[in-house]
Amino acid sequence: MKPLVLASTSRFRRALLDRLGLPYEAKRPDFEEIAPEGMAPADVARAFAEGKARSVEALPGQWVIGADQVPEIEGRALRKAESLDDCRAQLAQLAGCTHALHTAVVLWSPATGVMLGEMVTVELTMRALDAAAIARYVELDRPVGSAGGYFFEGRGICLFDDVRGGDESAIVGLPLVALCRLLRKAGLEPLGLME
């Protein structure tokens, strides 16, 4: 039995977790991402990470990893871009501004009910972009489904002038440094789990 279950089938989250060499299985979460009215963006990220973790089946002794991220600009949360038009609109809002990207990661034991979690907030300053640059980027990366309308792990890194706080894995969607801390808190030494 693999000791970890990733509550995600995102290719980006799987690629990040693969970097650690930990044995895991990935399962699609059965969770609808509907944020309660008025909830702070960071709290939405944490609630969604927990909801995803709780929504997948796990065997006794397994720990479930859940993660979610929510971009915030001027106190408002941005939802995941659902179309290329959404991507262009979100990038137009973010261009020339600094926004926060809240990424929550949780480790949940269905057998014991223990939920451990951390929040990593990264501040990203996007350079000024005109409509043509935005259209060109969206055409190249087609970042539908992304938080903020960009794939930082792709060509989207070229959109930024500055990044502060956290490690790059938090921007991509699964903060590995924080996850390793959570695994150790759960009594699972990552180096001991590595294949």
Sign of the torsion angle spanned by Cα atoms 135, 136, 137, 141: positive
The single-letter DSSP state of residue 1 is -
> Which residues are identified as catalytic?
68
Distance CA 7, CA 169 (A): 17
From residue 8, alpha-carbon distances to 25, 68, 135, 165 in Å are: 10, 10, 29, 24
Q: Report all structural domains of the chain as residue ranges with CATH numbers, in order of start.
A: 4-193 (3.90.950.10)
As a whole-number percent, the residues of the chain with pLDDT over 70 amount to 99
Per 3-state DSSP, the chain is made up of helix, strand and coil in percentages (nearest 5) of 35, 25, 40
Residue-wise pLDDT tens digits, 111-132: 999 999 999 999 999 999 999 9
Residue-wise pLDDT tens digits, 158-179: 999 999 987 889 999 999 999 9
- pLDDT for the residue numbered 195: 66
Quote the mean pLDDT of the chain: 94
Distance CA 125, CA 22 (A): 33
